[in-house]
Amino acid sequence: MRLNYAIEMFLQHCQLERNLSKLTIKAYGKDLDQFIDRSSKHHSCVQDIHKEFLREFIKYLSSKYKPRSIKRKIATLKSFFTFLEREDIINTTPFRKIHLKLNRSKDLPKTIRKSSLNRIIKYAYLEKNKYLSESRGYREATRDIAVIELLFSTGIRVSELCNITFNEIDLTNNVLKIHGKGKKERIIPLCEKKSLAILKEYAHLYEEYLPYSASFFLNRDCLPLSDQSVRRIINKYCTIAGVTEHITPHMFRHSIATMLLENGVDIRNIQTLL
């Protein structure tokens, strides 16, 4: 069987039978596309892939990526070949007799400096106040602040934020329902007053669109906000606030976890929240 066709089968299996998220399937696809690119014409069929070639591919990964990325890419390949073996497309996975020992050391999660976080939020509110309350600029600035406030006050992932629906955020009882990795559901209390206030203002400004939308957070065309849009929002206010450090949405998650831990919150409670 040709390698590209086998990969299509595997990704379809991940979607229909394993019910994996779109982001996970997309990541699997990228890893396997890279594997195809490194395969020569002599390895266009899955039956031609042997452990010597896998060793060469792992050597290539080791020259390009950090251990964490290498482990993820190898895990994707292992899952792919295990699927092929289980489906009797190949007799045995070529990983069966390969023993890997990667460096397990990893950097501490990057967090946002408190001074930088304060500046971002401060300048976001200042930017909002430049606009008339009935203008589109005011509405979009309110949305931007709601996104930043919610990322920080809850520690949710950017994918989780973009997938929140109108019915999953209860601004009367102040709770948020999240469907996380592995379709796990968790309820997060919305306790921070400024965060609640801006979320309620956002909901009021977009009230004519939200009941009919697939997402709670909308872009300027009133379509669901993408994770790339969230990154652009953060970069925009970093620039406005004069914050030079590179900040990603996931760093908000690391920051709230670190701050809660420093303030004596039990690590199990933090784990449940996140």
pLDDT in the model for residue 132? 92
Domain ranges of the chain: 3-86, 114-273
| 39-44 mean pLDDT | 64
Question: What pLDDT does 235 receive?
Answer: 94
Q: Which residue has the higher pLDDT, 54 or 267?
A: 54
| Among 49-58, 158-167, 181-190, 260-269, the range of highest mean pLDDT | 158-167
The rounded mean pLDDT for the chain is: 86
Q: Which residue has the higher pLDDT, 196 or 58?
A: 196
Query: Which CATH fold would you assign to the domain 3-86?
Result: DNA polymerase; domain 1 (1.10.150)
Residue 230 confidence (pLDDT) above 90: yes
pLDDT band at residue 257 using 50, 70 and 90 as cut-offs: confident
pLDDT of residue 68: 79
Query: Looking at per-residue confidence, does 218 or 108 come out higher?
Result: 218
Q: Which of 33-47, 70-84, 224-238 has the highest mean pLDDT?
A: 224-238
Question: Exposed, middle or buried: residue 161 (CB in 10 Å: 0-12, 13-18, 19+)?
Answer: buried
Taking a C-beta distance cutoff of 8 angstroms, is the pair 77, 31 a contact? yes
Burial of 164 (0-12, 13-18, 19+ CB in 10 A): buried
Residue count of the chain:
274
Residue by residue, DSSP assigns 230-246 as HHHHHHHHHHHHT--S-
Cβ partners under 8 Å of residue 211, min gap 6: 166
E runs forming strands in the chain: 169-170, 175-179, 185-189
Query: Could you tell me which of 45, 64, 114 has the C-alpha nearest to residue 256?
Result: 114
Is residue 157 predicted with pLDDT exceeding 80?
yes
Specify the pLDDT at position 122. 93
Is 42's pLDDT higher than 60?
A: no
C-beta of residue 1 within 8 angstroms of C-beta of residue 47 = yes
Lookup result for tokens 């073996």: 85
**pLDDT tens column, 98-128:** 776 655 555 667 888 889 999 999 999 999 9
Cβ 49 vs Cβ 94: under 8 Å: yes
The pLDDT assigned to 196 comes to: 92
| pTM for this entry | 0.66
Matching CATH topology for 3-86 and 114-273? no
**Residue pair 247/254 in contact by the 8 Å Cβ criterion:** no
The CATH code belonging to domain 114-273 is: 1.10.443.10
The predicted pLDDT at position 105 comes to 52
Token digits of residue 75: 């895990």
Give me the mean pLDDT over the 213-223 stretch. 89
